[in-house]
Structure 1
Amino acid sequence: MATPEESPFPEPFWGFYWPGGQALTRFILDSPSLVVKQKVLDFGCGCGASGLAAKIMKAESVTFNDIDKDAMIAVQLNGSLNNIAVDKFASENLIGSSCKDYDVILVGDMLYDSEFADSLFIWLKELHQRGKKIYIGDPGRYAIAEHPLCNELRCLAKYQLLRSTVLENKGHSQSYVWTFS
């Protein structure tokens, strides 16, 4: 296993199976009715695990979105390794867009920075108010724990993380799935 300094990619966030993504993926696999026959957006998809889970659970369609074009290659490889067809990609920054073509928005591990969380929370709340189903996976970072809008979130699930994941993620021992109340 290479260290981050040895990586040929600048900031390969898509190269890790982050704890929020793990929780969100498990939640989808445990609750297929959330995505069955729905048009799903895996926002900031990284390696694509949550979107791939939605495809397994019979989502009508899944669009994988990440501004890092290398993430799209990771998603295709993960899809291929798991015999899951991956054909819808979006590499633009969708924050502020209407997401009119989607019913469900999956957001894993995107609340890593309080400044970024401000714009993300506002956008997600607007989407929720327009009837979109929003599911957020996060291990309880600052933004989810202390952001003013977190009072409007409801915890749907809590998962214990593997020891190796705890060591890689600043000691977070659990990860959660949230939605707007």
Structure 2
Amino acid sequence: MSGASQVLANDIDPIAGMAMRLNCELNHLDPFPITIKNIINSDAGKWDLIVLGDMFYDEQLADGLHRWLRKCIRMHQTEVLIGDPGRYQFLSHSIHNQLHKVIEYSLPEYTRQENHGLTSSIVWSYQPSSNSLESC
């Protein structure tokens, strides 16, 4: 809807893939390619933008994701936006000191209750230092 010439959606959960297809239909968009294989640690694709959300719930996953994102940025100058509701694993991960807040959204009350009192979600721009990029 924002004019992207190509989109690849990825989630390892097949139900999320179905939800993405339904979202396309609801928004009157032609369905775009969706993969349910784990692409983290695969070759860095030549993407202009990677948008991901709530991926830092597990330290091992977060570490692998951090390395892969740095590689995508180093090789292709990919822009990375990360949405996260402020989970401890994210706030305490080393990636956090390489983020710049883009915008913060308040969560509705029912979402706060379902998510153990988390009150907002923030979109971050991931901008690793040059030294960090050289070490990948």
Aligned residues: 126
The answer for unaligned runs of 5 or more in structure 1 is 1-55
Which amino acid counterpart does residue 104 of structure 1 have in structure 2? L
TM-score with structure 2 setting the length: 0.84
Aligned partners of 2:50 and 2:80 also within 8 Å:
yes
Which amino acid counterpart does residue 122 of structure 1 have in structure 2? R
Q: 1:108 aligned to 53, 61, 68, which one?
A: 53
- Give the aligned partner of residue 43 of structure 2: 98
Aligned partners of 2:45 and 2:72 also within 8 Å:
no
Residue 95 (structure 2) pairs with residue 133 (structure 1): no
Which amino acid counterpart does residue 73 of structure 1 have in structure 2? M
- Give the aligned partner of residue 10 of structure 2: 65
Q: Distance in 2 between matches of 1:128 and 1:165?
A: 33
- Give the aligned partner of residue 122 of structure 1: 67
Aligned partners of 1:128 and 1:180 also within 8 Å:
no
- Give the aligned partner of residue 132 of structure 2: none
- Give the aligned partner of residue 162 of structure 1: 108
TM-score with structure 1 setting the length: 0.64
Q: CA RMSD in A?
A: 1.5
Percent of aligned positions with the same letter in both sequences?
37
